[in-house]
Amino acid sequence: MAIYELADLGADFTANPYPHYARMRELGPVHEVRGADGWRFWLIVGYDECRAAFGDARLLKRPPIEIEMDMIMGRHLLIADPPHHTRLRRLVSREFTPRRVAALRPRVQEITDGLLDTMLPAGSADLVDALSFPLPITVICELLGVPDSDRDSFRAWSNDVVAPTDPERAGASIEAMRDYLDALIARRRGAEPGDDLLSGLLRTEAEGDDRLSAEEVRAMAFLLLVAGHETTVNLITNGVRALLDHPGQLAALRAEPDLIDGAVEEMLRYDGPVENATYRHTGEAVAFGGTEIPAGEPVLIGMASADRDPERFADPDTFDIRRPAGGGGHLAFGHGIHFCLGAPLARLEAKVAIGTLLERAPGLAPDGAAQAYDWVPGMLIRGTRRLPVRW
């Protein structure tokens, strides 16, 4: 099988990868590809094959060699395999409980209302700056006990990490986050303990026969700060953009606000915030859909492609907030042991943010003066840097 040259597709692939994924699925569910950066890897694009790959223990998350982020920040859930992953997730789950997430609803609503109080009098705004970014970064920083004054720094660092355009700058951002988190952890362990999630992780470190090491606390805080806001920023932004691109669906949701639960699931399926799962590699030769991937090869599981697979979803390119069964089993949060720990919080924030925005901003529409979308680079995060809107 010839290597599929994604590099030849140019900016069109970043702006709208779905037709290209459809052509790949027609050729087969698994492809050896080369990205725009010249990196060669295997990409799984069929729904059944992606779901199987998520549960296949022969696909390992632990990098075959130490990578810079791993060496600097420490090992977290995204780069760990059982039994180490099992242990980490069990310890972290003690603090990241459904009850704790449900209890956040009033605060999420309060933050959303405050942001809209500031945004709406202007008549137009960049939704990312006004709502999509500040809501989840405020929530996760409050959860971890990060002061307001430091949140803009985290935004810049996070952008460099999840969509790097300069390796040297990305490395510097990782080091800056490490140093900041080490100092914050030292304060929480010393004179400034609190009831925030970071303090809870440190209590987990100090209690019981098993505990998180200082490095593990830092690595988990890093993962929660980055994954806990970056994906939700783009869930909210992509969801609103999908509604604006489909006026009939927007009108239906306005008419029946109770459709918001299914609408958010369809937003996740139709144009979710994570295009491909983070890298795995084959611990031994493994076959999906009749294609064998040799041992030691890097693999991406194509969540965005899987969620548009016509073998799994009827009319997959149609955005339908009434789609049965809340998106029909999408893979936007992954599957199996690495299913996103923060999925309940992301869903909560998207429902509150989008539902409240539609209620308070009648006539919401794209800003006609807007320039072309500035798409987040790379194949990890799916979204735009800005979304100019008016009302």
Q: Give the pLDDT band (50/70/90) at residue 328.
A: low
| 131: DSSP letter | I
Peptide bond into 83 cis (omega under 30): yes
CATH number where 297 lies? 1.10.630.10
What's the whole-number mean pLDDT along residues 36-45?
Answer: 91
Instruction: Name the most confidently modeled range: 20-29, 67-76, 176-185, 333-342.
Output: 20-29
pLDDT attached to residue 206: 47
Where is average pLDDT lowest: 38-42, 52-56, 145-149, 310-314? 145-149
pLDDT attached to residue 65: 62
Q: What gap in Å lies between CA 287 and CA 203, rounded to an integer? A: 43
Q: What gap in Å lies between CA 69 and CA 161, rounded to an integer? A: 9
What's the whole-number mean pLDDT along residues 204-212?
Answer: 60
Residues 28, 162, 307, 287: is their CA dihedral positive or negative?
positive
Task: Name the strand (E) or helix (H) holding 136.
Answer: helix 134-144
Asked whether the predicted pLDDT for residue 74 surpasses 80, the reply is no
Cα atoms in the 13 Å half-sphere on the side-chain side of 96: 21
Which residue, among 220, 218, 283, has the nearest Cα to 81 in the 3D structure? 283
Q: Give the pLDDT band (50/70/90) at residue 332.
A: very high
| 34: DSSP letter | E
Domain span at residue 184? 4-390
Q: Which amino acid is at 103?
A: A
Q: Per the structure, how many domains does the chain have?
A: 1
pLDDT tens digits for range 112-165: 999 999 999 999 999 999 999 999 989 988 888 888 888 788 778 877 777 677
Instruction: Give every CB contact of residue 313 below 8 A, 6+ residues apart in sequence.
Output: 47, 269, 307, 323, 328
> How high is the mean pLDDT of the chain?
88
Instruction: Give every CB contact of residue 22 below 8 A, 6+ residues apart in sequence.
Output: 308
Contact 340, 346 (CB under 8 A): yes
